[in-house]
């Protein structure tokens, strides 16, 4: 289970709508426990995918990833995962998402239909990397 404040969920939705028709992306920082992740901050970051495919792909630069890890450590938080949008596509994790994911993180996906945010789901990659499993998204 991943828990986010109403404000962070709205921040993610607004970011996804603002970047439409391109995929947005961001970081989820907070605290992890055995059965859940509690997000304390959703932080937008630039989609650095360079080959013109930003409508269907996202990439977070290594520098942003490192900066997020350092910020989380300094504030006593953890990098819990990432969020991104699927413009005019469902909020289901794609095969591309699976191939580029790591098992320890949550992957929150918001669908954006004609510029308006719609569904939101979160996914966790199984440790053998074979498949994503949906995790509950709870508003706190």
Q: What is the pLDDT of residues 77-97, one digit of tens each?
A: 999 999 999 999 999 999 999
Predicted pLDDT at 65: 86
Mean pLDDT value of segment 111-132: 96
For residue 12, the enclosing domain spans 2-139
9: domain CATH number?
Answer: 3.40.140.10
The domain tally of the chain equals 1
DSSP string, 41-86: EEEEE-----SS-TTT-----HHHHHHHHHHHHHTT-EEEEEEEEE
- Mean pLDDT score across all residues of the chain: 93
């Amino acid at each position: 289970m991943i828990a986010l404040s109403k404000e962070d969920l709205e921040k993610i939705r607004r970011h996804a709508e603002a970047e439409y028709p391109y995929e947005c992306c961001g970081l989820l920082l907070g605290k992890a426990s055995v059965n859940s992740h509690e997000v304390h901050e959703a932080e937008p970051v630039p989609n650095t995918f360079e080959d013109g495919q930003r409508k269907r792909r996202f990439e977070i630069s290594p520098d942003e990833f490192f900066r997020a890890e350092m910020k989380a450590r300094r504030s006593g938080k953890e990098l819990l995962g990432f969020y991104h949008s699927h413009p005019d596509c469902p909020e289901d994790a794609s095969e591309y998402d699976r191939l580029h994911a790591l098992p320890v993180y949550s992957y929150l996906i918001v669908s954006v239909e004609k510029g308006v945010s719609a569904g939101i789901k979160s996914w966790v990659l199984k440790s053998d990397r074979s498949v994503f499993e949906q995790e509950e998204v709870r508003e706190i």
